[in-house]
Structure 1
Amino acid sequence: MREFSVPALVRAQRTEGLADSVFRTAEETPLLPVLSRRTAINPDATDEAPSPQGATWHDVTAAQFRDEVQALAKGLLQQGIRFGDRVALMSRTRFEWTLLDYALWSIGAQPIPVYPTSSAEQVRWILGDSHAVACIVEHEDHAMTVGSVCDSLPTLRRIWQLDAGALRQIAFAGRSVPDEEIERHRAAVTSDTVATIIYTSGTTGRPKGCVLTHGNFMAECDNLVTQYESVFGAKGRGEQASTLLFLPLAHVFGRMVQVGAIRAGVRLAHEPSLRPADLLPSLASFGPTFLLAVPYIFEKLLQRARQRAEESGRGGIFEKAYNAAVRYAAAQERAAFGEGPGPTAALRMQHQFYESLVYGKVRAVLGGKLRHAMSGGSAMNREHALFFKGAGVTVIEGYGLTETTAASTANPPDRPRFGSVGQAIPGTSVLIAEDGEVWVHGGQVFQGYLNNPEATEDTLRNGWLATGDLGRLDSEGYLWITGRKKEIIVTSGGKSVAPVTLEDRIRNHPLVNHCMLVGDNRPFVGALLTLDPEALDHWQRRNGRPQLSPAQAAHDPDIHAELQRAVVTANTAVSRAESVRAFRVLAMDFTEQSGLLTPSLKLRRRAIIRHCAVDIEALYASSAQAALST
């Protein structure tokens, strides 16, 4: 199949803006809890508490949220922010970001997200390219970063700091502005009005500003909410759907979650940390009905569950339960597509036996109410998805870009094809071009790149977005991503290799934190591996080995032997010409802080190749490693 389309379920109202849903919900259901915010540990604090320890959640009703949005919008007007102005937001994921987004949208302004880990040069580029007139930062360190480059930003007039009570100050300044002034501004916002400019994380080159309108978000979110009513509406459970947002709001995936939740009346809470030590207590205390995350989060949750079972002497039981869940979900999948009878009686009995022993405990760690999760940003391991499905949590994998306002395809929750990224969401068409590139058309496709007509012309082809990703459509319109055009490795023998499949298989080993294949113009494919410190510590204790740091373990022969088995196993999925013939364990990890990962945790391949040039040369200089058996 070369093209697959799904008609829209909802059409964006041309005279509507995103903030209108806040005011409409407040008018229709003023007491509906639309957000939950964490009570500050310090009663004198003005902002949401940054961590779950010692704090509780309390609800914010639709009327309360509307009033806070309106008060802040008045203050922004009073402080000189006007229709069409761009205001940068540099913060972790927290309640105040959502409040600011809707206040700015209420007056037709454009929030410009900036990752909180951005360098001074990145901040200078984004604020300069967008001509931002103001910047709202989370804390003093961010303020200093912006302050260090503000002399080169002639349009920047104001810097506000959340942790210094900025929102209270702004709202207080606008107390004399009449409500009618906000209504007048809000009425001028249409679906064609620019809502935000999100800068790509830039795996290569300088970030480009993706121009997204209010209509782009409405086309995306309204169709997703309608199609996935069983997820966003908690259908049949007699409870309000809820989600804990921990994805960066500077990323389009997090922004889509926010807008979709507000428009659907989902109770939305925020968690600023992705660290399991912070995230798991928040999940347990809030108890979401669904989550949206990247595969890395699911991998870490699974890894934590496996480690806890092993440390309590129940590792064998966990592995048996894991295998039963995978087989059970795979049998269900085959039955859904008419390819098999479903789980056998014996398998159903096994599955039921492990429900209380393992699966229920996994769900309890996630808050106890979770039944659905959405995954995006990169490919998810099929076996992991099957395990979660067998354990009672359906992970709906999707695919999209900043340029498509997040998802362009997603798996149906009642008929997922695990390993694929699903079918086109309503209102979207997917086309496989002659060279295998995935093209997308729909109401969520962006307007172009800010100040970059050449890049826009290269990406938008008669309304179709050329994604840069390679893929195929199966007979039922499910999309399978096979690689990225710019990431294809071409060996000196002329063999073209898409690295993602092997990287994911090798990274499936608990000891491996990151894996990147190399081999351009080289005689064979090699791999750079980094170690997961927590998994390394657990493996060493479990096997009675000396406690080595990741840097020390990089040269340990026992670690090499363990990883060699992982590489050999992964190689069974590809031909010898495509297989990893040598690997090198690095003494360091790939991190966002080092500039080797994007904020969405993707590999910055060119930066890694530059940074690890010595290691790559050593890898190919070692003829002994090159003899790795496949």
Structure 2
Amino acid sequence: MRESTVPALVTTPPAGGLADVVFERAEKAPDHVVLARRDPSGVWRDVTAAEFRDQVLALAKGLLAQGVRFGDRVAVMSRTRYEWTLFDFALWSVGAQPVPVYPTSSAEQVHWILHDAEVTAAVVEHEDHAMTVGSVIDRLPRLRRLWQLDAGAEDRLAAAGADIDTEVVHRHRLALTPDTPATVIYTSGTTGRPKGCVLTHGNFMAECDNVVRRYETVFPSRSGEQASTLLFLPLAHVFGRMIEVGAIRSGVRLGHQPDLSAAALLPDLEAFRPTFVLAVPYIFERIFHAARRRAEAEGRLEPFDRAVEVAVRYAEAVEQKAFGTGPGPGAALRVQHRFFDRLVFSRLRAALGGRCRYAMSGGSAMQRRLGLFYDGAGIRIIEGYGLTESTAAATANPPERTRFGTVGVPIPGTAVRIAEDGEVWLRGGQVFTGYLGDHRATREVLHNGWLATGDLGSLDGDGYLTITGRKKDILVTSSGKSVSPTPLEDRVRAHPLVAQCIVVGNDRPYVAALVTLDPDAVHHWLTMRNKPEMGPAELVRDPDLESEIRRSVVAANTLVSQAESIRTFRILGSQFTEEDGLLTPSLKLKRKAIEKMYAMEIEALYQT
């Protein structure tokens, strides 16, 4: 199949903007709970539609009083927290455009985004962020206002706007149309400076409304238990932003968690008890590996591994039945599954709050086996695919007919085409209008309504998309063999000890790899083998560790031909980090930067 199209379930309204739903819901159901906010004591307090509307309105008045005008761009630099959502909808209420900035951004990255977007004001989380902006403020002549969340920005703005008439806000809000720019989100910038993707109110409406309607089992809007999610993805990323908007538009109870450490996240999951969660595959991998390490430390590794096998086989049988290729789990398998559900799977679900039955995953590929394990354990992970340019998801797996290892079918209102060279092209109401001020780059990716993604993929006979790599990442060895590094890297990274893997070999005689280690997994591995703690230099030379990593490389090589296989590898003593300029804020590898920093190590891989 070369093209797959799914008709829209919801059409974009002819007028209005994203903030309208805040006021409409408060009018129709003022007591409906739409968010939850932690109070200073750490207790989750519900926020009703009427309360949220009043907070948005007060903040919108304050923004107007402080000089924010229709069409202005306002930067928001913060971790994921309640105030971000509040500012988003307040800014949209006055026709302004939030410009998200990752909280880990360097001063030069901040300068580029604020300068390129010509922002007139900025919201930062704390003093460190304020100092980062302050260090480049002399090169930002358009920046007139700076507000700090931890210094009471919300209350100060509300007080400043107390005398503004409510009708002034409504006049701004009612001037919006679906074609009005809603936000400018900057790409991760793996190969050069980030580009600003201009996304309209209509882009978000087309995306969120069709996703919510198609995935009603995840976003139930009818009577019964209210859906809820604890959002810990960065709101600077389009995936988190889409869920924020979708939750508000669909009435899902939304909470925010800024700290991804297990010590902070797990207690909040237990207290908030979400019905679904959103994460990148790395998070699901960490949860699985942590559970396996805990089982090994408690002397329960053998039953845990048996439970994993049962979960995978059970999920495969369910998958086969959904596609009409099998009868479903047999009696013996169902008995084994019930046994391990009490022993293992229920503990995994309890760690996510006990009510979670669905998860959404995006940002990178998930291993089929990992998705099957979670499904067999009672949590269906809906893997999808999209870009900033497509307002997040363009495809996703149907919850009732999930094909693990793929990124699903087009969401309603979307078409997917595979070009002659294997590139994935997308078309739909969620596809962006272009890059801010960069007409040349826009022309390179938009072709008569189709978005050329730069990703390589294939469609099966049922219209399910599989991503096989990235055009720019393809390696060509000196013998002329083309190699897609992503599947190899993902398979090596599936090993519990491996944190990251980068495959190299461009213009080289063969393919090789650099591997970094997970410190927690290494500590556990050393403890379970009664080995002393080692420094990085000693650790990377340990023959037992090298043997472990070699097993992951051998497993990866089973995916490809001998000419494409990893011939040799080197274990590095430290991970690739964003601080070192080797990862994007969304944790993607900056390949050129890594190859430059580790040029000597890569050269050594090719010394005979």
Common topology (TM > 0.5): yes
The corresponding residue for 1:124 is 111
Q: C-alpha root-mean-square deviation of aligned residues, in Å? A: 1.0
- Could you tell me whether the CA contact under 8 Å between 2:221 and 2:250 is conserved in 1? no
The corresponding residue for 1:363 is 349
Q: Provide the rounded CA distance (Å) in 2 between the counterparts of 1:549 and 1:304.
A: 22
2:148 matches 1:167: no
The corresponding residue for 1:345 is 331
Sequence identity of aligned pairs in percent? 65
Give the deviation of 1:550 after TM superposition. 4.2
Give the deviation of 1:235 after TM superposition. 6.7
The corresponding residue for 1:49 is none
2:71 matches 1:84: yes
Match of 1:63 among 32, 46, 50: 50
The corresponding residue for 2:291 is 305
2:63 matches 1:73: no
Give the deviation of 1:316 after TM superposition. 1.0
The corresponding residue for 2:17 is 17
The letter of the residue matching 1:363 is R
Q: Provide the rounded CA distance (Å) in 2 between the counterparts of 1:348 and 1:234.
A: 32
Q: Aligned with 2:581: secondary structure?
A: coil
2:431 matches 1:454: no
- Further displaced range: 178-187 or 334-343: 334-343
Q: Provide the rounded CA distance (Å) in 2 between the counterparts of 1:594 and 1:171.
A: 39
In the alignment of these two chains, the number of paired residues is 608
Q: Provide the rounded CA distance (Å) in 1 between the counterparts of 2:461 and 2:484.
A: 23
Q: Provide the rounded CA distance (Å) in 2 between the counterparts of 1:542 and 1:235.
A: 50
Give the deviation of 1:433 after TM superposition. 0.5
Give the deviation of 1:320 after TM superposition. 0.4
The corresponding residue for 1:429 is 415
The corresponding residue for 2:213 is 226
Give the deviation of 1:273 after TM superposition. 1.5
Q: Aligned with 1:58: secondary structure?
A: strand
The corresponding residue for 1:609 is 595
- Could you tell me whether the CA contact under 8 Å between 2:221 and 2:251 is conserved in 1? no
Q: Per-residue displacement from partner, 1:252-280 (whole Å, max 9, x unpaired)?
A: 00000100000000000000022222211
Give the deviation of 1:358 after TM superposition. 0.4
The corresponding residue for 1:102 is 89
The corresponding residue for 1:45 is none
Moved runs in structure 1, 4+ residues, more than 4 A?
none
Give the deviation of 1:520 after TM superposition. 0.2
Q: Provide the rounded CA distance (Å) in 2 between the counterparts of 1:326 and 1:567.
A: 22
Q: Provide the rounded CA distance (Å) in 2 between the counterparts of 1:234 and 1:2.
A: 35
Q: Aligned with 1:546: secondary structure?
A: coil
2:466 matches 1:480: yes
Give the deviation of 1:556 after TM superposition. 1.6
Q: Aligned with 1:73: secondary structure?
A: helix
The corresponding residue for 2:241 is 255
Map 1:186-225 onto structure 2 (within 5 A): 186-225=173-212
The letter of the residue matching 1:269 is G
Q: Provide the rounded CA distance (Å) in 2 between the counterparts of 1:473 and 1:419.
A: 12
2:250 matches 1:264: yes
Structure 1: which 5+ residue stretches go unaligned? 42-54, 624-630
- Further displaced range: 162-171 or 96-105: 162-171
The letter of the residue matching 1:485 is K
Give the deviation of 1:549 after TM superposition. 3.9
The corresponding residue for 1:52 is none
Q: Provide the rounded CA distance (Å) in 1 between the counterparts of 2:221 and 2:343.
A: 26
- Could you tell me whether the CA contact under 8 Å between 2:97 and 2:181 is conserved in 1? yes
Match of 1:139 among 126, 146, 152: 126
Q: Per-residue displacement from partner, 1:5-49 (whole Å, max 9, x unpaired)?
A: 0000001112110000111111111111111111113xxxxxxxx
Map 1:542-561 onto structure 2 (within 5 A): 542-561=528-547
The corresponding residue for 1:28 is 28
Give the deviation of 1:234 after TM superposition. 7.2
**What is the TM-score normalised by the length of structure 1?**
0.96
Q: Per-residue displacement from partner, 1:309-346 (whole Å, max 9, x unpaired)?
A: 11111111110001100010011111111111211211
The corresponding residue for 1:7 is 7
Q: Per-residue displacement from partner, 1:209-239 (whole Å, max 9, x unpaired)?
A: 0000000000000000000011011778x21
2:549 matches 1:563: yes
Q: Aligned with 2:197: secondary structure?
A: strand
Match of 1:113 among 91, 94, 100: 100
Match of 1:512 among 495, 498, 516: 498
The corresponding residue for 2:562 is 576
- Further displaced range: 307-316 or 580-589: 307-316
Match of 1:471 among 453, 457, 466: 457
The letter of the residue matching 2:65 is Q
Cα pair distance change 1:228/1:549, threshold 3 Å = farther
- Could you tell me whether the CA contact under 8 Å between 1:3 and 1:473 is conserved in 2? yes
Structure 2: which 5+ residue stretches go unaligned? none
Q: Provide the rounded CA distance (Å) in 1 between the counterparts of 2:253 and 2:298.
A: 36
Q: Provide the rounded CA distance (Å) in 2 between the counterparts of 1:62 and 1:555.
A: 59
Q: Aligned with 1:230: secondary structure?
A: coil
- Could you tell me whether the CA contact under 8 Å between 1:6 and 1:426 is conserved in 2? yes
Match of 2:313 among 327, 331, 335: 327
Q: Provide the rounded CA distance (Å) in 2 between the counterparts of 1:549 and 1:241.
A: 47
Q: Aligned with 2:399: secondary structure?
A: coil
Match of 2:165 among 161, 175, 178: 178
Q: Provide the rounded CA distance (Å) in 1 between the counterparts of 2:300 and 2:254.
A: 36
2:583 matches 1:597: yes
Cα pair distance change 1:567/1:234, threshold 3 Å = farther
Q: Provide the rounded CA distance (Å) in 2 between the counterparts of 1:120 and 1:507.
A: 31
2:131 matches 1:148: no
Q: Provide the rounded CA distance (Å) in 1 between the counterparts of 2:302 and 2:190.
A: 40
Give the deviation of 1:552 after TM superposition. 3.3
- Could you tell me whether the CA contact under 8 Å between 1:531 and 1:550 is conserved in 2? no
Q: Aligned with 1:503: secondary structure?
A: helix
Q: Aligned with 1:229: secondary structure?
A: coil
The corresponding residue for 1:244 is 230
Q: Per-residue displacement from partner, 1:54-84 (whole Å, max 9, x unpaired)?
A: x221111110000000000000000000000
Q: Aligned with 2:412: secondary structure?
A: coil
Give the deviation of 1:555 after TM superposition. 2.0
- Further displaced range: 364-373 or 542-551: 542-551
Give the deviation of 1:90 after TM superposition. 0.4
Q: Aligned with 1:231: secondary structure?
A: coil
Cα pair distance change 1:517/1:276, threshold 3 Å = same
